[in-house]
Structure 1
Amino acid sequence: MTARLYRVVLPVSDIEVAAKFYGAVLGEPGQRVSSGRHYFGDNERGAILACYNPVADGDQLGEGWRQHPFQYLYFAVDDLECARRVCIVEGARDVTEIQAMPWGETIFYALDPFGNPISFVQSGTEFTG
């Protein structure tokens, strides 16, 4: 048996803000799949990012679901400086400077508008273990 990662669910408190932010930083509009879910990407290019607002979707989970502070989502991009500028313009917080990491990645970290930890890595420098 083999398995592959096909979807990552990211909790958000405002699906409209999430669609705008991730649409800008990922460079694609994504697709609204329900009142509280907006998906980005496709399985041909990798895993789907599923922004999810439980309240807007009518789920009972409400606001209790949060990411761990070090549970980063990592995105590989072909223009790291552009990605950093877009994150800042679109409302990301605590955006770090671009850094060269000891394991070879060129990277910056940020918090999305909902406080979720995100990171962007220059394509070609991704460390995969």
Structure 2
Amino acid sequence: MKFGYVILYVPDVSAAVSFYEQAFGLTQRFMHESLQYAEMETGGTALAYVSHELANSNLPDGFQENSLSARPAGMEICFVAEDVSSAFLCAVEAGAVAVVEPKVKPWGQTIAYIRDPNGILVEIASPM
């Protein structure tokens, strides 16, 4: 078995793709003609988006939607960047909400946190 996808549930797939292209320089790999599913090129594991509409059809008992007005869900996605401060500023300029400014952790790694326009928690970290 291999890890294949991280899928984020978002209200607007096209807007999520646009944000991640602007904020992190990712490239769209696939967008379904329905605009309810898309994938980004990230290397070995795809980052994908599913519309709330499609997610609700897949999960008939519902799910907890991400929202900037609520606390972040108990998970995050992480992007590794050589220059965490620049990546952090780029994400904020693209519409992210700053959560934790870049800081060096005791083990020497620099990390920062933002929330994307959908409220999803994103860590930006230097390589280990």
Q: What TM-score bracket applies, with the shorter chain setting the length?
A: 0.7 to 0.9
Aligned match of 1:49: 47
**Which one of 66, 73, 87 corresponds to residue 69 of structure 1?**
73
Aligned match of 1:78: 82
User: Following TM superposition, by how much is the alpha carbon of 1:103 offset from its aligned partner in structure 2, in angstroms?
Assistant: 3.5
> How many percent identity over aligned positions?
24
Q: What CA deviation, in whole Å up to 9, does each residue of 1:107-126 have, x standing for no partner?
A: 1001110011110101x22x
Q: What code does the residue aligned with 1:105 have?
A: Q
The alignment's C-alpha RMSD in Å is 2.3
Aligned match of 2:107: 103
Contact 2:19 2:95 in 1 (8 A): yes
> SS where residue 64 of structure 1 aligns?
coil
User: Following TM superposition, by how much is the alpha carbon of 1:51 offset from its aligned partner in structure 2, in angstroms?
Assistant: 1.5
> SS where residue 46 of structure 1 aligns?
coil
- Residue 118 in 1 paired to residue 122 in 2? yes
User: Following TM superposition, by how much is the alpha carbon of 1:49 offset from its aligned partner in structure 2, in angstroms?
Assistant: 0.3
Contact 1:98 1:108 in 2 (8 A): yes
How many residues of Structure 1 are paired with residues of Structure 2 in the alignment?
A: 119
User: Following TM superposition, by how much is the alpha carbon of 1:10 offset from its aligned partner in structure 2, in angstroms?
Assistant: 0.9
Q: How does 1:22-33 map to 2 (within 5 A)?
A: 22-33=20-31
Using the size of structure 2 for normalisation, the TM-score is 0.78
> SS where residue 101 of structure 2 aligns?
coil
Residue ranges of structure 2 left out of the alignment (5+ in a row): 67-71
Using the size of structure 1 for normalisation, the TM-score is 0.77
Residue ranges of structure 1 left out of the alignment (5+ in a row): none
* Aligned counterparts of 2:106 and 2:2: Cα–Cα separation in 1: 28
- Residue 37 in 1 paired to residue 41 in 2? no
